[in-house]
Structure 1
Amino acid sequence: MKKLTAAFLVTVMCLGLTACAGQSEESAESEDTDAKTEETAPEDKGTLMMATTTSTEDTGLLDYLQPLFKEDTGWDLEWTAVGTGEALAMGESGDVDVVLVHAKSSEEEFVAEGYGVERFPVMYNDFIVVGPSSPIEKTDDINAVFTQIINDQLPFVSRGDDSGTDKKEKGIWEELGLDPATDPNYVESGQGMGATITMADEQQAYCLTDRGTWLKQSQDATLDYQLDIVCEGNDSLLNQYGVIAVNPEKYPEVNNEGANDFIEWICSDEVQELIGEYGVEEYGQALFTPNAGTDA
């Protein structure tokens, strides 16, 4: 009997030691995992200030990318969404660290004048004309559409805010030798793209918009637009976006490290793929097409 009791005690002790060993191993594994998480999580680096156009905000793209950028780099991205002209002006004043806009000639001028370091293409979509489906019939001829608007004095709502979209619209009138001021139904909203589309819908007017904002706005469950796409598919309506770090030689206080991290991040293959997928599930097509690394 004593032998059996001793054997039983030995067995219990062995089981206890095995359990302790198992717990120690699990604890060690847990500590290793925690350590690895701490090693891979980037430190909180502070804030990166960006000036950008309203379309990147109205489409929801920045809200989608912001937490991913924070997770990957440690920078907290904050932005002001205005027209491209005003966004570049903020860069010219050194009020932001980086700009993400869509007016290539203005962007190149921004760099040439020493306000920006270098321009990098990021993505594109296209401009379209939306409005009542009659009397304008759907076409890809943007010149014919703008000419008919003036000749028939059809209502048109312009951004009128020196944005990339406004610059594009004004450029079309100029190329055609047409003065929109001769149309009594031509008005300027002085607002962002989303608000301008809403104003055009209220007035049953035409307007030029980027496709991404139109897709987001027109399929919003809280809105009920009566407008249709009346012009699309013209090669001249390409809408290219570029990103530029504000020049630290002109403004030493800007966050150039964060700006460079953002440019490298948004132009990376991984993030370019995310941009190309954004909106596909909800709207049936991407709101932007990535093209970093090109000469666009």
Structure 2
Amino acid sequence: MQRRELLAAAAGGLSIGIAGCAGAPSGSEEQAAGVSGETLTLTTTTSTYDTGLLSELNAPFEEMYGVTVDSVAQGTGAALETARNGDSDVVMVHARSLEDEFMREGYGVNRRDLMFNDFVIVGPGSDPAGISGMESATDAFAAIADSEAPFISRGDNSGTHTKELAIWEAAGTDPGGDWYRETGQGMGEVLNIANEADGYTLADRGTYLSQRSEIDLEILVQGPIEGGPELLSNPYGILAVNPAIHENVNYDLAMAYIGYVTSPEAQELISNYEANGEQLFFPRALSEDPDFQQYVPEGWSGNASDN
């Protein structure tokens, strides 16, 4: 992949490479940038794809720049691994611990908070484990394990799977046995499997709402959006692959994309995106209160001893 030169027109005042600080370019600016016909490879979690958000979000960017966004939907762990191998330009995922590891290893740069929703615990209306209305995710997981009711796990090192494992650990429970099934599948397929098995699963609210009309599962334990525990929060981040590690990555176009998805226009698109009359994601990139922790691994203070 040849080196891109999005910033060739910078001397004329075009500053599209500074993420979050630039709006959409005009048609003449797009032509001056010389990016028409290029492809940006985005590796992302399955929830952004399954909900249909990516199609809505990417279409204006593709039109503005005359480029194609190749969205590769994987679990968060797989998406980051693809980027580690230099086969992705930009990553949109939702597991901060895995994102931090990726950045600490030097593979990712210029991380931004993007949006959020939350996780919910869903299951059959019969609720054999009796978790409906519980205010604690850990108590709900412990009750499911005690009842040995079917639980369907992503089992794929995705952001959802990472969150699930954290809840099991906090509950002091090591899941296993015939009642616990690891599938290695994406969120949409896991919801279908849980529906067929009359089982429970942990789902991001967005994917559940987008499929709710097609399945019989109910939200039994809410996340923080509806007053549930903060443990079920689900923030999404976006970061560029470090061109100092992989010279082949399309860094300039990746930075233009980060600038676009964190812009007021794209953040409004995220806010307005709905399925079955429900808002699926909530914008998080812009705030009057600066959060510098979004740019670096959580807890990092810049001291040598912290690296």
For this structure pair, what is the TM-score category when the shorter chain's length is used for normalisation?
0.7 to 0.9
Q: Which residue of 1 aligns with 2:21?
A: none
Summarize deviations over 1:80-137 as a string: whole Å, max 9, x none.
1010000000111111101100001110111111001121110000000110132322
Shift of 1:45: 4.2
Shift of 1:73: 2.5
Q: Letter of the aligned partner of 1:196 in structure 2?
A: V
Q: Letter of the aligned partner of 2:209 in structure 1?
A: L
Q: Letter of the aligned partner of 1:39 in structure 2?
A: S
Q: Which residue of 2 aligns with 1:292?
A: 285
Q: Do the aligned partners of residues 96 and 200 (structure 1) sit closer, same or farther apart at CA in structure 2, a change above 3 Å counting?
A: same
Q: Which residue of 2 aligns with 1:65?
A: 57
Aligned 8 A contact 1:160 1:188 in 2: yes
Shift of 1:40: 6.6
Match for residue 82 of structure 2 among 84, 90, 95: 90
Q: Which residue of 2 aligns with 1:31?
A: none
Does residue 187 of structure 2 align to residue 164 of structure 1?
A: no
Match for residue 214 of structure 1 among 185, 201, 208: 208
Q: Which residue of 2 aligns with 1:33?
A: none
Shift of 1:285: 2.6
Aligned 8 A contact 1:111 1:118 in 2: no
SS in 2 for 1:251: coil
Aligned length: 253
Shift of 1:284: 2.8
Match for residue 131 of structure 1 among 123, 128, 143: 123
Unaligned runs of 5+ in 1: 1-36
Relative contact order higher in (CA < 8 Å, ≥ 6 apart): 2
Q: Which residue of 1 aligns with 2:247?
A: 252
Shift of 1:74: 2.6
Match for residue 121 of structure 1 among 95, 110, 113: 113
Unaligned runs of 5+ in 2: 1-25, 223-227, 295-307
Aligned 8 A contact 2:45 2:73 in 1: yes
Could you tell me how far apart the structure 2 residues matched to 1:284 and 1:140 are? 26
Q: Do the aligned partners of residues 150 and 38 (structure 1) sit closer, same or farther apart at CA in structure 2, a change above 3 Å counting?
A: closer
Summarize deviations over 1:122-163 as a string: whole Å, max 9, x none.
000000011013232232321111010111111100000000
* More displaced 10-residue stretch of structure 1: 201-210 or 57-66: 57-66
Question: Percent identity among equivalent residues?
Answer: 44
- Residues 144-223 of structure 1: pairs in structure 2 closer than 5 A: 144-181=139-176, 183-219=177-213, 223=214
Could you tell me how far apart the structure 2 residues matched to 1:45 and 1:268 are? 23
Match for residue 266 of structure 2 among 265, 271, 285: 271
Could you tell me how far apart the structure 1 residues matched to 2:67 and 2:114 are? 19
Shift of 1:44: 1.5
Aligned 8 A contact 1:108 1:119 in 2: no
Aligned 8 A contact 1:41 1:71 in 2: no
TM-score normalised according to structure 1 size: 0.82
Summarize deviations over 1:241-285 as a string: whole Å, max 9, x none.
100100000111100011000000000011101100000xx4333
Could you tell me how far apart the structure 2 residues matched to 1:184 and 1:148 are? 16
Aligned 8 A contact 2:27 2:64 in 1: no
Moved over 4 A (4+): 40-43
* More displaced 10-residue stretch of structure 1: 94-103 or 38-47: 38-47
Does residue 219 of structure 2 align to residue 229 of structure 1?
A: yes
Aligned 8 A contact 2:151 2:200 in 1: yes
Does residue 98 of structure 2 align to residue 106 of structure 1?
A: yes
Comparing both structures, which one devotes a greater share of its residues to helix? 1
Aligned 8 A contact 1:44 1:75 in 2: yes
Q: Letter of the aligned partner of 1:211 in structure 2?
A: R
Higher-Rg structure is 1
The CA RMSD over aligned residues, in Å, is 1.6
Could you tell me how far apart the structure 2 residues matched to 1:287 and 1:163 are? 19
